[in-house]
Amino acid sequence: MIGKPDYTRLLILTVAVTGISMFHYFTPLHASYLHDIFQRLYYIPIILSALWFGLRGGLFCSVIVSIVYAPHILYQWGGDFSMETGKYLEILLFNIVGGLTGFLSQLEKERTAELKKTAEGLEISYSKLKAQSERIMAIEEQLRRAEKLSTMVELAAVLAHEVRNPLGSIRGTAEILRDDYPPDNPKHEFIDIQIRETERLNRVVSEFLQMVRPRPSDMQPCNVMEELETIATLLTNDARNHHVEIVLEPTGKQVPIMADSEKLRQAFLNIILNALQAAPAGSSVSIAVDASDSVSLSIRIHDSGPGIDLGNLDRLFVPFFTTKPDGTGLGLSITKKIIESHNGTIAIESLKGKGTTVIIRLPVSEKTKQ
């Protein structure tokens, strides 16, 4: 397919060859010096055609010029070979120049195309190498940060352990001092605050240590429904205090999974406690287990509380992030870590004013299917 620039070049060559030929045919023979000039002018379209269209272009134009110029020699100059040898040799030279120039032009174009292709390949390779280098640098930076973070976490764990040791003594001493004052004494109230804050600090330290130094998992066949029933029983008083009912929906099929029962129980406990605290008085917290999938087990825990702001959903599993005044911000972080250690997933769906649903999926082991 010929593009617009090629049509323009063909038009230029056609006009040039036609114009030079007309000068030849309409110029008197006695003006031989003009014919010599016109004869040399033929090289312009021949060379241009060779440069623009390569070997075939150069040969095609030189052949056309030869065909157009030959009648002028034969009929206007008499065609005597001995007299017009120079003109016949000029026709031969037209074709030699056209072929040679076209060959060199085509060779140069091919080399240019190869070099361009090589340059593009080098540019792509450079881009890939640069991207890989940036990724390596990013990974190295992450490793350095991870190493620093690991050191800081280990140091924090040591400090937390050292802090927890005297907390029991402080609490015991405070309880003894509280007994020395009647309940209506202001000092009794101050000591109560001290005891509550000591308990809260001990809870934060314990959860932090549990997160950074989890004990090894003891994977055994575990009946999720039985674990949830146990938790529902344990939380009966909490539910009554919040005026909330825990509804454990029955499931027809029970599939045991391979899990650390104690850790899994703690994960469920954290989620259900959060649901109880979020649910309004007179409502319920529903727990449903779906065992219809042969690959995974689904546990859905729903409360009809106020819901969670959309901006906070992505931050719920971040350590120490909490929306509760007395929360530690570690419960969901620990829960997520426990679920992921069981090769499971946890997700939270929430709409403002319409409650929150926590969805846990745990894989069903081949051992428990048998």
- CA distance linking residue 59 with residue 61, whole number of Å: 6
pTM score, whole prediction: 0.48
The structural domains of the chain, with segments of one domain joined by +, span 4-123, 144-212, 220-369
Give the burial class of 54: count Cβ atoms within 10 A of its Cβ; 0-12 exposed, 13-18 middle, 19 or more buried: buried
Half-sphere exposure of 198 (CA within 13 A, CB side): 18
Calculate helix-pair angle for 43-71, 85-178, nearest 10 degrees.
Answer: 150
Fold of 220-369: Heat Shock Protein 90 (3.30.565)
Name the DSSP class of 83.
Answer: T
pLDDT string in tens for the chain (370-residue length) = 445 567 888 888 889 888 888 887 788 877 777 877 878 888 888 888 888 888 888 888 889 888 888 877 776 666 555 556 767 788 888 888 888 888 888 888 889 889 999 998 889 999 999 888 888 888 888 777 767 666 666 666 666 666 666 777 787 888 888 888 887 887 888 888 888 778 777 777 766 666 666 666 678 888 888 888 888 888 888 888 888 998 888 876 677 788 888 888 888 888 898 888 888 888 989 998 887 777 888 889 999 888 887 777 777 777 777 777 666 667 788 888 888 888 899 998 888 878 899 999 988 876 555 5
Q: What DSSP letter does each residue of 296-355 carry, written as one string? A: EEEEEEEE-SS---HHHHTTTTSTT--SSTT--S-HHHHHHHHHHHTT-EEEEEEETTTE
- What the block records as the tokens of 139 is 């990974």
Find residue 303's DSSP bridge partners.
Answer: 285, 356
Query: 222 in the Ramachandran plot: left (φ > 0), alpha (ψ -120 to 50) or beta?
Result: beta
Please give the single-letter amino acid code of residue 166: P
